[in-house]
Amino acid sequence: MPVHAAGHGEHLNLWFRKVYAAYSVNNGKADLRRYVSKADLRKNARRMRNGPGRNHCMGARVEISKGFLPNSFDRVLLDAPCSALGLRPRLFAGENP
């Protein structure tokens, strides 16, 4: 049964068996890369092509873009600044982040 089709308990059981095998063969040093099949690696690589960046796309149109021809980009990567919402309690308390 493929790992992705297994239920949650079956998936954990398979994972624990791999960890036990890795520890017993490598004298307590886990090397799980040896126990993942090439087919599983390829399958995971295919799934990663549609990773979080592509799953959370937002569309927008720009009418005027100086210096660039229309449709000259397929995608634009935006590395937006952090909103610091996670640090807000510290900021109000006067602590340094």
List pLDDT tens digits, range 20-46. 665 555 555 555 555 667 777 777 766
Query: Out of 13-22, 36-45, 76-85, which region has the weakest mean confidence (pLDDT)?
Result: 13-22
Residue in the structure block whose two tokens are 């610091």:
84
- How confident is the model over 85-97, as pLDDT tens digits? 666 666 566 555 5
Q: Which of 78, 86, 71 is nearest to 56 (CA)?
A: 78
Provide the percentage of residues in the chain whose pLDDT is more than 70.
19
What pTM value is reported for the model? 0.23
- Domain ranges, ordered by start, for the chain: 1-57
Question: Average of pLDDT values for 51-63?
Answer: 60
Is 74 marked within a binding site? no
